[in-house]
């Protein structure tokens, strides 16, 4: 972000982070438009200049669509009754910005958000999104209706469209534990919106979680490139482990026809994973993996990489799951496996690259397991060892039956009991042939019965990881070229399960 260093000019009294998503998102837009780094650096002159810019955008109707979503169509900026009364509209807008610039008379009470500053208005739903209407009870039975706002609080709300995109018909309001991350995201969005406002062509964005994850990816990727440049000129080559905390997304509409809000959370461990996934060798695997899971314009898997023009409306089902709660995390493991199945040739419903997701070093899968599941390296190594040994058994003995049983593409049902019996038979066969065990009881319990990870992984996680690593190891051994018949026999049930993953 190219922003100027603060000066000694008079600062705007009380301008600071409030920990309220709407105010802080608008404040972020003010900081960026001022070319500053922090709210404390914004001067009175900056504030007046930003409000002048914001007002001009409302007058020119650049913010008309955003205003209707944020402030309802009863607000002065979009009120249909002003369509044939331009002077009345101008008068209403002038009044709103007289409040935002402190040029009207304050009220004898303090602002709710900046409590050391007097309020200028008592705001209702047409001035603060998702409040009740004018003269209606908001917070408690005997309280005064509406919300007291100061000039700067109201100005921050008015500035929201500068850096807040419309996604799927709602505004994407963010709250972060680290203001620096909020500034980085808003800076990227503001750059896009500035260009669109200049052309008077707002992009039709869809897929809120895809758009957020994609933005985070681009920020972390850019940050990694910057760190590499720094590392070349300094002896300190520490990989940045800055703690960003979490990120909450308030996807809201205050429109009279369909008000509502959906809230998504990116947990701290999800942000840490995304950041590390954009570093070094992880980066290539992450791009290949996510690139395989773009939905087509009709919503089907197997879509090609979107063009620059249609990218804002395309969803990516991996990126949609990165608000990683327990269920989403389990689903992403299944996506890893689906990628490997397509690469091996068991399925052909994705466009995959010839890149390992679980190589012996810089493994994207291991990174995901350690950051999201908090899985111990000892358990990961045991799963790898068992999978590699099974791959050796299948390859050296050309045992396509064992391969199909392990992969669940035979007539054997995918239950814990049946999978355990498959392993027992493989143990017996190896013991009879070589006199050595495939795995012992302690290893079995550590792999399939461990419950130390968060979320509780269950035996099916270990099974899917075993299949994933085994597939990649067999691919490295060129097994599928040597025994193409091993790929024949995928059951309809298995393919159906794969196809339904994006609907979860």
Confidence of residue 2 (pLDDT cuts 50, 70, 90): low
Q: What's the rounded Cα separation, in Å, for the pair 242 and 401?
A: 49
Rounded mean pLDDT of 136-151?
78
Share of the chain above pLDDT 70, in %: 86
Backbone φ and ψ for 365, nearest 5 degrees, come out as -65, -45
Angle, helices 416-434/400-407, rounded to nearest 10 degrees? 150
Q: What is the pLDDT of residue 348?
A: 85
Rounded mean pLDDT of 230-259?
69
Least confidently predicted of 52-61, 188-197, 479-488: 479-488
Q: What is the pLDDT of residue 324?
A: 66
Distances (CA, A) of 244 to 178, 247, 271, 349: 5, 8, 7, 36
Q: What's the rounded Cα separation, in Å, for the pair 465 and 394?
A: 17
Confidence of residue 237 (pLDDT cuts 50, 70, 90): very low
Rounded mean pLDDT of 269-274?
93
Q: What is the pLDDT of residue 232?
A: 42
Q: What tokens appear for 80 in the block? A: 């249909």
Convert 371-399 to b/e letters by CB count within 10 Å (16 or more is b).
bbbebeeebbebbbebbbbbbebbbeeeb
Q: What is the pLDDT of residue 489?
A: 60
Task: Look at residue 229 and tell me whether its pLDDT is greater than 50.
Answer: no
Confidence of residue 11 (pLDDT cuts 50, 70, 90): low
91 within 8 A of 98, measured Cβ to Cβ:
no
Q: What's the rounded Cα separation, in Å, for the pair 219 and 183?
A: 11
Which tens digit of pLDDT belongs to each residue from 65-123? Answer: 999 999 988 888 888 888 788 899 999 999 999 999 999 889 999 998 998 899 999 99
Which tens digit of pLDDT belongs to each residue from 394-432? Answer: 999 999 999 999 998 876 667 889 999 999 999 999 999
Task: Look at residue 487 and tell me whether its pLDDT is greater than 50.
Answer: yes
The rounded mean pLDDT for the chain is 87
Angle, helices 268-277/208-233, rounded to nearest 10 degrees? 60
Q: What's the rounded Cα separation, in Å, for the pair 472 and 467?
A: 9
Least confidently predicted of 96-105, 226-235, 304-313, 433-442: 226-235
Q: What tokens appear for 484 in the block? A: 């193409």
Q: What's the rounded Cα separation, in Å, for the pair 96 and 149?
A: 12
Q: What is the DSSP letter of 168?
A: T
Convert 269-305 to b/e letters by CB count within 10 Å (16 or more is b).
bbbbbbbbbbbeebbebbbbbbbbbbbeeeeebbbee
- Which among 184, 179, 191, 174 has a CA at the least distance from the CA of 217? 184
Q: What's the rounded Cα separation, in Å, for the pair 387 and 465?
A: 8
Rounded mean pLDDT of 468-487?
92
Which tens digit of pLDDT belongs to each residue from 324-356? Answer: 666 678 899 999 999 999 999 888 889 999 999
Q: What tokens appear for 448 in the block? A: 């399939």
Which tens digit of pLDDT belongs to each residue from 186-216? Answer: 999 999 999 999 999 988 899 999 999 999 9
Q: What is the pLDDT of residue 411?
A: 64
Instruction: Please calculate the CA angle 178-183-184 and round it to the nearest 5 degrees.
Output: 100
Q: What is the pLDDT of residue 412?
A: 65
Backbone φ and ψ for 110, nearest 5 degrees, come out as -95, 160
Task: Look at residue 45 and tell me whether its pLDDT is greater than 80.
Answer: yes
Q: What's the rounded Cα separation, in Å, for the pair 123 and 415?
A: 59
Q: For 348-485, where are the alpha helices, taking DSSP H only?
A: 364-372, 377-397, 400-407, 416-434, 441-448, 458-476, 479-482
Which tops the pLDDT comparison, 273 or 410?
273
Q: What is the pLDDT of residue 78?
A: 84
Share of the chain above pLDDT 90, in %: 66
Q: What tokens appear for 288 in the block? A: 């290949």
Going by C-beta distance under 8 Å and a sequence separation of 6 or more, which residues neighbour residue 120? 99, 102, 104, 105, 106, 107, 149, 150, 151, 154
The helix/strand/coil state of 335 is: helix
Rounded mean pLDDT of 28-38?
97
Task: Look at residue 244 and tell me whether its pLDDT is greater than 90.
Answer: no
Q: How far apart are the first and last CA of the chain?
A: 38
Distances (CA, A) of 242 to 181, 214, 247, 299, 368: 11, 20, 14, 36, 18
118 within 8 A of 110, measured Cβ to Cβ:
yes
Which tens digit of pLDDT belongs to each residue from 258-271? Answer: 899 999 999 999 99
Q: Is 35 left (phi over 0), alpha (psi -120 to 50) or beta?
A: left
Least confidently predicted of 28-37, 280-289, 317-326: 317-326
Neighbours of 81 (CB within 10 A): 11
Q: What's the rounded Cα separation, in Å, for the pair 68 and 160?
A: 12
The helix/strand/coil state of 316 is: strand
Q: What is the pLDDT of residue 248?
A: 97
User: Is the previous residue joined to 455 through a cis bond, with omega within 30 degrees of 0?
Assistant: yes
Q: What is the pLDDT of residue 495?
A: 42
Task: Look at residue 496 and tell me whether its pLDDT is greater than 50.
Answer: no
As a whole number of angstroms, the longest Cα–Cα distance in the chain is: 94
12 within 8 A of 46, measured Cβ to Cβ:
yes
Confidence of residue 242 (pLDDT cuts 50, 70, 90): low
Going by C-beta distance under 8 Å and a sequence separation of 6 or more, which residues neighbour residue 349? 301, 302, 342, 498, 499
Q: What tokens appear for 389 in the block? A: 């040994």
Q: What's the rounded Cα separation, in Å, for the pair 208 and 225?
A: 26
């Amino acid at each position: 972000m190219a922003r100027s260093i603060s000066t000694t000019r008079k600062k705007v009294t009380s301008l600071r982070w409030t920990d309220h998503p709407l105010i802080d998102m608008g404040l972020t837009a003010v900081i960026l438009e001022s070319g500053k780094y922090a709210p404390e650096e914004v001067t009175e002159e900056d504030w007046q200049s930003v409000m002048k810019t914001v007002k001009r955008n409302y007058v020119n109707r650049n913010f008309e669509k955003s205003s209707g979503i944020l402030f309802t169509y009863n607000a002065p900026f979009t009120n249909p009754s002003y369509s044939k009364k331009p002077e009345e509209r101008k008068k209403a807008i002038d009044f709103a910005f007289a409040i935002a610039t402190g040029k009207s008379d304050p009220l004898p009470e303090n602002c709710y958000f900046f409590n050391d500053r007097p309020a200028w208005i008592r705001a209702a739903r047409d001035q603060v999104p998702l409040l009740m209407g004018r003269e209606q009870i908001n917070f408690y039975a005997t309280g005064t209706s509406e919300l007291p706002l100061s000039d700067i609080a109201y100005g921050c709300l008015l500035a929201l469209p500068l850096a807040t995109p419309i996604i799927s018909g709602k505004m994407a309001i963010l709250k972060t534990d680290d203001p620096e991350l909020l500034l980085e995201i808003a800076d990227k969005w503001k750059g896009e919106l500035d260009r669109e406002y200049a052309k008077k062509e707002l992009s039709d964005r869809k897929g809120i979680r895809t758009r957020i994850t994609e933005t985070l990816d681009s920020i972390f990727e850019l940050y990694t490139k910057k760190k590499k440049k720094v590392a070349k000129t300094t002896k300190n080559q520490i990989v940045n482990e800055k703690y960003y905390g979490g990120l909450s997304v308030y996807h809201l509409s205050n429109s009279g026809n369909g008000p509502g809000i959906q809230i998504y959370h990116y947990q701290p461990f999800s942000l840490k994973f995304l950041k590390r996934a954009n570093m070094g060798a992880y980066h290539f695997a992450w791009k290949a993996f996510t690139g395989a899971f773009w939905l087509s314009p009709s919503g089907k898997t197997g879509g090609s990489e979107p063009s620059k023009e249609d990218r804002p409306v395309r969803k990516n089902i991996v990126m949609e799951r990165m608000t990683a709660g327990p269920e989403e995390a389990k689903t992403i493991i299944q996506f890893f496996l689906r990628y490997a199945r397509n690469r091996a040739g068991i399925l052909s419903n994705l466009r995959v690259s010839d890149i390992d997701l679980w190589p012996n070093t810089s493994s994207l899968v291991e990174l995901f397991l350690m950051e999201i599941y908090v899985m111990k390296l000892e358990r990961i190594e045991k799963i790898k060892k068992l999978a590699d040994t099974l791959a050796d058994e299948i390859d050296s003995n050309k045992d396509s039956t064992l391969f199909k049983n392990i992969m669940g593409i035979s007539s054997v049902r995918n239950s814990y009991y049946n999978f355990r019996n498959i392993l027992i038979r493989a143990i017996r066969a190896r013991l009879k042939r070589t006199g050595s065990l495939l795995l012992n009881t302690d290893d079995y319990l550590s792999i399939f019965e461990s419950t130390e990870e968060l979320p509780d992984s269950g035996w099916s996680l270990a099974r899917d990881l075993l299949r994933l690593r085994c597939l990649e190891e067999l691919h490295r051994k060129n097994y599928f070229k040597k025994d193409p018949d091993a790929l024949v026999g995928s059951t309809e049930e298995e393919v159906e399960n794969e196809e339904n993953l994006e609907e979860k």
